[in-house]
Amino acid sequence: MHDLSPELVALRAAAPQTAVAQAAVAQAERLERREVLSIHRELLVAMYAAVAVLVAGIGLLLKQHLRDIGPGTLLTCLLVASLACHAVAWRARHLGRERSLGEDYVLLLGALLFSAAVGYAELRFRLFGAGWSRHLLLLAIWHLAVAYVFRSRLVLAVALTALAAWLGVELRLGSAIEPRHSWFGLGPRALLCALFYYAGSFFHHVGSTGIGGPDGAFHNGFREVYRQFAAHFAFWGTLAMIGDEATRWLGAAVLVVLAVVVGRMGLAERRESYVLYAVGYGTIGLVWLESVLLRDRTLTSLIGLVTVIGAVALLMKLRSRLKASAP
Amino acid sequence: MNVARPTVSEERGLAIADRYPALREAVDRLGLAGRWKAATWLARCVGFVLGLVGAGMLAGVLRLFPAPLFIGGLLLLVAAEWLIARRHVVRSGFEEAMYLCGATAVAVQLLIWIDTDNASLAVALVAMAVLLAGWRLLNPLFTTLATADLTLSIGLFRTTLFDGRLNTLAAALACALLAAGALVAGGRSWQRPSHDRMLDGLVIAMPWLAYGWVIAYPGNIAQKWLPLALSLAFVVATTAVGASRRAHPPLVSALGSAACALHAVYMLLGWPVHWRLIVIGALALAAAVLLERLLRDRRNGITSRPIDEPAGLDLAHLAAAAHLPSAPGVPSGPAPAPAVQGQGGDFGGGGASGRF
């Protein structure tokens, strides 16, 4: 065990004499003296693992008993279970209180059970025929609605994933835009997805909603989920474009622009994560491009090494700037 | 010889800045961390990946040289030492990757020179290299990995006794003893937080490894009750210690041991796989929900409610949730984004944003 409270006593005098700063020191002292311990994070992990195991079991059950269990019974069971999970969240909403951690995960379980039911129904009854991927869009819309009704970031993540799956499948099959064109491969589809997500973040713009109070926390949370998804999908899209010979140079150009934009955004908003994405993904993209373009392995390695050293130097500089810009 | 590393007081200052982001500015103003610059965990991960890529590139450059691993390893070690001594970099990920790769490369080159086919010796030598890196950088992950490697070398040790089958039990015993020793040693007061973390690493990982070694034993004992008894014993011991010390690592260890116990139950049940998964998942979920409800109001200083600690797992879980299967037979689309940010921020009131 180690106890940092002696240092915190010294910090108490040095910290700003504001209520917030002094409360932060007092809280830190309580934690260091081990007066209080939160097992919130341990429970998060346990609940996530439990839901994952449960859903895996249900998935296997469906797979192995597709013929034994009647489709009607199976669908009814899944939908009733999903409804029960949603009812738990609805109860909390009805009582006007925040959902507990467990209720949050029960809601997630409900969303996933609903996905399983819809997926099974589509597989069994071919409701959408040739356009079977539309059920993913239906799921995305449903989960999006549930996420907003219950203000659940977990369900929002499920909705965004379903949307990505629909866009990926739908566009590849060619029912939305020109079908099998190389310029609309994995990379551009991921970029399109990123655009949708980024557009979604504007519904929760800080300026229009304010950042204080419970509504502020809701908008901040949802906006961040959209933006995080957008950043990752955009970078993955550009990397995929670099991997495709037809879109290589366009991908490289988009990567550079994206890295600059995201990096500047990170600096402006003092968000280290965006700066890290810009440098990290940018470096991976450049090294990949070098390895694809240069034939000589030694030369590729040498230039790659210089790129990485440059990236580390840049990262250190940007982090210093971030730290210096702290209020 | 003096190696460049934070002094005890500097390391404690760094630990405060790391643990309580709201106090970083005050730590800087007081100069508690000296000239050392540490990174957030996300920056550390990115630095580590960049370090690995850099080490790979260096290997590509040196591949035509004689003894490339030795030369490359030494170069990486020197570069990492330069970064630490001159740039006062600590836990940036980059120097850690370089040190790890450098030390491992030198060890592997030595193995090539020795030309041995003794797997146990090879693993032990690599473990010593990782241990050296962990000791030098005060990195608990490396020391834990090195210890796990050492137990692997016990498991691989060649012996004619019982056809070497007892090796797995010997490795399990070593893990169990290390876990128990670390649990006891963690009770005393340590000045350097990193030393405490090294013990925490053993407390967390060794019970799981012990369980793994026991179920790897080819005899009948593995299929019966020993794995369950062992994991339950660890659940009880680590939960009791975690609750009495009000410390996270023993509780994390208990969580892992509980998962091991559930796995042991899974193996004992003769039901079809899906029913076993459903029952175990439902049991685990019910237990977690019950615990969460019981501890909503603080009991003996322990609560299930979040308090103002940096909660970097929040967004990680969001991303992880998206990885869950949506439906059987549904074609998978592009992978979801790991929506994770650096710690210490304001996201959603309790999450982490990496905002300074």
Q: What's the pLDDT at A327? A: 62
CB contact (8 A) between residue A119 and residue B327: yes
Looking at beta carbons, which residues of chain B come within 8 Å of A164? 333-334, 336
Q: Give per-residue burial for B120-152: e unless 16+ CB within 10 Å, then b.
A: bbbbbbbbbbbbbbbebbbbbbbbbbbbbbbbb
Query: What is the pLDDT at residue B345?
Result: 38
Q: What is the pLDDT of residue B339?
A: 37
Among candidates B54, B304, B354 on the partner chain, residue whose Cβ is nearest the Cβ of A43:
B304
Q: Judged by CB atoms within 8 Å, which residues 281-310 of B form the interface with A?
A: 281-282, 284-285, 287-289, 291-293, 295-296, 298, 301-309
Q: Which residue has the higher pLDDT, A176 or A312?
A: A312
| Amino acid code (one letter) for B218 | P
pLDDT at residue A231, rounded to an integer: 94
Q: How many CA atoms lie within 13 A of B261 on its CB side?
A: 16
Q: What is the mean pLDDT of residues A205-215?
A: 55
| pLDDT tens digits, one per residue of B280-334 | 899 888 988 898 888 888 777 888 888 754 444 344 444 444 444 343 333 333 4
Helix H or strand E encompassing B303:
strand B302-303
**Segment holding B184, helix H or strand E:** helix B166-185
Across the A:B interface, residue pairs with CB atoms under 8 Å apart total 392
Distances (CA, A) of A71 to A33, A57, A74, A127, B253: 58, 18, 5, 14, 42
The whole-number average pLDDT for the span B199-203 is 95
* A residues 168..197 contacting B (CB < 8 A): 168-169, 186, 189-190, 193
Q: Say how many C-beta atoms besides its own lie within 10 A of residue B255's C-beta.
A: 23
Q: By the 8 A CB rule, do B140 and B197 touch?
A: yes
- Identify the residue among B12, B16, B19, B23 best suited for mutation to test binding to A, counting A beta carbons within 10 A and taking the highest: B23
Share of chain A above pLDDT 70, in %: 91
Residue in A157, A224, A300 closest to B321 by CB: A157
Strands (E), A68-191: none
- Give residues 139 to 168 of B whose Cβ lies within 8 Å of A: none
Query: Which one-letter amino acid corresponds to residue B10?
Result: E
CA dihedral A247, A251, A254, A255 (to 10 degrees): 180
Under DSSP, is residue B141 helix (H, G, I), strand (E, B) or coil? helix
pLDDT at position B131: 95
Range A231-250 average pLDDT: 89
d(CA A1, CA B188): 6
pLDDT attached to residue B162: 57
The mean pLDDT value for B150-173 works out to 77
What does the pLDDT average to over A273-296? 90
Do A262 and A274 touch, CB atoms closer than 8 A?
Answer: yes
In this prediction, residue B222 carries a pLDDT of 55
What is the average pLDDT score of chain B?
Answer: 81
Tokens of B82: 């330069």
Kindly tell me if the per-residue pLDDT of B138 is higher than 80. Answer: yes
Mean pLDDT confidence for B148-165: 76
Please check the confidence at residue B268 and state whether its pLDDT lies above 90: no
Q: Which of A3-7, B156-160, B265-269, B340-344 has the lowest mean pLDDT?
A: B340-344
Higher pLDDT, A106 or B322: A106
With a cut of 70, say whether residue A27 has pLDDT above it: yes
Residue with the bigger pLDDT between B219 and B12: it is B12
Residue among A2, A63, A135 minimizing CB distance to B328: A63
> What's the mean pLDDT when you consider all of chain A?
84
Residue B53 to residue A287, Cβ atoms within 8 A: yes
Q: What is the pLDDT of residue B36?
A: 86
Nearest to B7 by CA among B233, B170, B193: B193
Asked if B93 and B52 touch (Cβ cutoff 8 Å), the reply is no
pLDDT at A262 over 70: yes
pLDDT of residue B329: 38
B19 interface with A at CB cutoff 8 Å: yes
Chain A partners of B46 at a C-beta cutoff of 8 Å?
A: 276, 279-280, 315
For A13-37, what is the mean pLDDT?
79
Helix, strand, coil percent values for chain B (each to nearest 5): 70, 0, 30
Give me the pLDDT at residue A61, please: 83
pLDDT at A71: 81
Please say if the pLDDT value at position A13 is more than 90: no
Tokens for A46? 């346990």
Helices of type H across chain B? 8-19, 24-30, 41-61, 68-87, 94-114, 119-137, 140-156, 166-185, 193-216, 226-245, 248-268, 273-294, 313-322
SS3 content of chain A, % helix, strand, coil (to 5): 85, 0, 15
Mutate which of A22, A39, A193, A220 to disrupt the B interface (most B C-beta within 10 Å)?
A39
How confident is the model over A112-138, as pLDDT tens digits?
999 988 888 888 888 777 777 788 888
Q: What is the SS3 string spanning A258-279?
A: HHHHHHHHHHHHCEHHHHHHHH
Give the tokens for residue A52: 């994952």
Q: Which of A213, A217, A206 is nearest to A153 (CA)?
A: A217
The pLDDT assigned to A247 comes to: 85
* pLDDT value, residue A181: 53
Band (B216; pLDDT cuts 50, 70, 90): confident
pLDDT range class, residue B164, cuts 50, 70, 90: low
Strands A37-38 and B302-303: parallel
Of A6-20, A114-128, B245-259, the one with minimum mean pLDDT is A6-20
Contacts of A166 in chain B (CB under 8 A): 333
The reported pTM is 0.78
pLDDT at B354 over 60: no
The DSSP output letter for B214 is H
Q: Which two tokens stand for residue B100?
A: 């790890």
Task: Show residues of chain A in contact with B331, CB under 8 Å.
Answer: 133, 165, 169
A24 touches chain B (CB under 8 A): yes
Residues in chain B: 356
